[in-house]
Amino acid sequence: MTGMTLKTSAGVTLVDMTMKISQMVGSVVTAGADGSTSIPSPPPGKTMFFIVVPLVDLQREKGKRPAVTLSGTTLSWGYSYNTNGWGYFSANCQIYFGYY
């Protein structure tokens, strides 16, 4: 296993970076619409993850992020919000994905 471990002279671990370190694989921009994309499988023993980053100011513009699901090698996203109010919209977001 690669990484770095820092210990005191008494053997107390201060930093252990030999654990699961994440690896970014790619990203997709939602363009404010529901969608899905195929992503590669993680290496054996690794777990996939995703992070949703809004590309607009959600506080100012009342944008809503999509709900994201990861099933096998399919990353899907969809928007859902109460349309009885005013000003809500599907915010353009970038979804980064990778494994750890």
pLDDT at position 29 is 98
Residue 65 lies in a domain: yes
Residue 9 lies in a domain: no
pLDDT at position 39 is 97
pLDDT at position 87 is 65
pLDDT at position 14 is 86
Residue 11 lies in a domain: no
* HSE-up of residue 81 (Cα within 13 Å, Cβ side): 18
* HSE-up of residue 43 (Cα within 13 Å, Cβ side): 7
Residue 30 lies in a domain: yes
pTM confidence score: 0.76
Q: How many distinct structural domains can be found in the chain?
A: 1
Alpha helices in the chain (DSSP H): 58-61
**How do the pLDDT tens digits run along the chain, 100 residues long?**
567 888 999 999 888 776 666 889 999 999 999 999 999 999 998 899 999 999 998 877 678 899 999 999 999 999 987 767 666 889 999 999 999 8
- Whose tokens are 């290496």? That residue is 43
pLDDT at position 31 is 96
Structural domain of residue 85, as residue ranges? Answer: 20-99
Residue 5 lies in a domain: no
